[in-house]
Amino acid sequence: MSKFKKKQGNVTPGISTASLPDIVFMLLFFFMVVTKMRDTELMVKVNTPQASELTKLEKKTLVNFIFVGRPTDKYKGKAGTKPRIQLGDKFATTDDIPLFLEKHKVGVAESQRQSIISSLKVDVDVTMGIIGDVKTSLRKAGQLKVNYSAKKRERTK
């Protein structure tokens, strides 16, 4: 008689992968439903001016977008027809800009806070008075890197 015997009855069965496609599709469906594609709903009409010398911003996470324009038809009853400032997903005044900038700074790594840029998306028909007020508020809040968004100018022949 031998001392060592093979144990043939204790073999573990393989893992069944029959339900794996169901799990993958459930996860896919979950993320499709939960994912939010757009950060903010545009509440003002913004038809940016055209420019010939443009540079593309590299890191979108370091950019604050400030929209200035007349309210869309959906919000005219609530906000009127004069040009308004939109910060995030709500109408604001120039006094709200420092708090908006501070909230954005908190979400950015401390080593990159010096690289934060405020991008002004301004409608062509807005007067410079409100833009001057926005720039003054940005300057008082210590945000000196400002970008003006524009569309590429179409070449004429």
For residue range 91-131, list pLDDT tens digits in order. 999 999 999 999 999 988 899 989 999 999 999 999 999 99
Q: What is the mean pLDDT of residues 39-64?
A: 85
Residue 42: CB atoms within 10 Å: 13
What's the CATH number of domain 50-151, 3.30.300.130, 3.40.50.970, 3.30.420.270, 1.10.10.60? 3.30.420.270
Phi-psi region of 142 (alpha: psi -120 to 50; beta: other; left: phi over 0): left
Residue 71: CB atoms within 10 Å: 20
What sign does the CA torsion over 125, 131, 134, 138 have? positive
Query: Where exactly are the structural domains of the chain?
Result: 50-151
Q: What is the mean pLDDT of residues 75-97?
A: 92
If residue 68 lies in a helix (H) or strand (E), which one and from where to where? Answer: strand 63-69
Cβ 117 vs Cβ 71: under 8 Å:
no
The reported pTM is: 0.72
Confidence (pLDDT) at 42 = 87
The dihedrals phi and psi of 146, each to the nearest 5 degrees, come to -125, 140
What sign does the CA torsion over 101, 102, 103, 106 have? positive
Token pair 């004069």: residue: 82
Report which of 105, 94, 106 is spatially closest to residue 138, judged by C-alpha positions: 94
